Amino acid sequence: MTTKLDSLQQWINEVAELTNPADIHWCDGSDAEYQDLVKQMLADGTLSELNGETYPNCYLHLSDPSDVARVEHLTFVCTSEEEDAGPNNNWMAPAEAHEKVDALFEGAMQDRTMYVIPYCMGPIDSPFSRCGVEISDSPYVVVNMKLMTRMGTAALARIEREGSFVKGLHSTGDLSPDRRLIMHFPEELSIKSIGSGYGGNALLGKKCHALRIASHQARQEGWLAEHMLIVGIESPAGETHYIACALPSACGKTNLAMLIPPDSQADWKIWTLGDDIAWLHLDDEGQLRAINPESGYFGVVPGTNSKTNKNAFDMITHDAIYTNVGRTSDNEPWWEDKKVGEPAYDWQGRDYDASNGPAAHPNSRFTVAACNNPSYSSLAEAPDGVPISAIVFGGRRKELAPLVYQSKDWKHGVLVGAGVASETTAANVGEVGVVRRDPMAMKPFCGYNFADYWAHWLSFDERSDKLPKIFHINWFRQDKVGKFLWPGFGENLRVLRWIIERCEGRVDATETAIGYLPKSEDIDTAQLDISDETMLALTSIDKAQWLEEMSAIGEYLDSYGDRLPKALKAEQQKVVDQLNQ
Known catalytic residues?
251
What is the amino acid identity at position 378?
Answer: S
CA distance 497 to 268: 10
Verify binding: residue 308, ligand GTP, rule CB under 6 A: yes
CB 24 within 8 A of CB 16: yes
What is the amino acid identity at position 459?
Answer: S
Taking CB under 6 A as the binding criterion, the range among 52-60, 253-261, 530-538, 547-555 that sits at the site for ligand GTP is: 253-261
Taking CB under 5 A as the binding criterion, the range among 274-282, 329-337, 410-418, 430-438 that sits at the site for Mn ion is: 274-282
For Mn ion, which residue of 276, 319, 381, 549 counts as binding (CB under 5 A)?
A: 276
Verify binding: residue 72, Mn ion, rule CB under 5 A: no
Verify binding: residue 67, Mn ion, rule CB under 5 A: no
CA distance 405 to 157: 46
Out of Mn ion, ligand GTP, ligand SPV, none, what residue 207 binds, judged by CB under 5 to 8 A for its kind, is ligand SPV
For ligand GTP, which residue of 75, 144, 255, 311 counts as binding (CB under 6 A)?
A: 255
Residue whose CB is less far from ligand SPV, 146 or 206: 206
Kindly report the number of other CB atoms within 10 A of residue 530's CB atom: 15
Q: Which residues are CB-contacts of 244 (< 8 A; sequence separation ≥ 6)?
A: 226, 228, 229, 230, 278, 280, 290, 388, 390, 391, 392, 468
CA distance 453 to 440: 10
CA distance 323 to 313: 15
Verify binding: residue 332, Mn ion, rule CB under 5 A: no
Residue whose CB is less far from ligand GTP, 295 or 512: 295
Verify binding: residue 307, ligand GTP, rule CB under 6 A: no
Verify binding: residue 475, ligand GTP, rule CB under 6 A: yes
DSSP 314-380: HHTTSS-EEES-EE-TTS-EE-TT--SS--SB-TTSSBP-GGG--SS-TT-EEEEEGGG-TTB-GGG
Q: By C-alpha distance, which of 200, 245, 235, 260 is closest to 75?
A: 200
CA distance 298 to 204: 13
CB 47 within 8 A of CB 140: yes
Residue whose CB is less far from ligand SPV, 5 or 204: 204
Min. distance of Cβ 272 from ligand GTP in angstroms? 12
**Pattern 112-131, Mn ion, x by CB under 5 A:** --------------------
Min. distance of Cβ 377 from ligand GTP in angstroms? 17
Residue whose CB is less far from ligand GTP, 11 or 297: 297
Taking CB under 6 A as the binding criterion, the range among 2-10, 89-97, 231-239, 488-496 that sits at the site for ligand GTP is: 488-496
CB 202 within 8 A of CB 141: yes
CB 118 within 8 A of CB 155: yes
Kindly report the number of other CB atoms within 10 A of residue 431's CB atom: 9
Min. distance of Cβ 70 from ligand SPV in angstroms? 5
Min. distance of Cβ 228 from Mn ion in angstroms? 10
Out of Mn ion, ligand SPV, ligand GTP, none, what residue 297 binds, judged by CB under 5 to 8 A for its kind, is none
Min. distance of Cβ 169 from ligand SPV in angstroms? 18
Out of Mn ion, ligand GTP, ligand SPV, none, what residue 485 binds, judged by CB under 5 to 8 A for its kind, is none
Min. distance of Cβ 486 from ligand GTP in angstroms? 7
Min. distance of Cβ 277 from Mn ion in angstroms? 8
Verify binding: residue 252, ligand GTP, rule CB under 6 A: yes
CA distance 401 to 417: 13
Binding site for ligand SPV (CB under 6 A): 70, 199-200, 206-207, 249, 276, 298, 427
Helix (H) or strand (E) holding 463: helix 450-463
CA distance 47 to 50: 9
Taking CB under 5 A as the binding criterion, the range among 75-83, 171-179, 248-256, 335-343 that sits at the site for Mn ion is: 248-256
Positions that interact with Mn ion (CB under 5 A)? 249, 276
Q: List interacting residues with ligand GTP (CB under 6 A).
A: 247, 249-255, 275-276, 299-300, 302-303, 308, 427, 475, 484, 488-489, 492
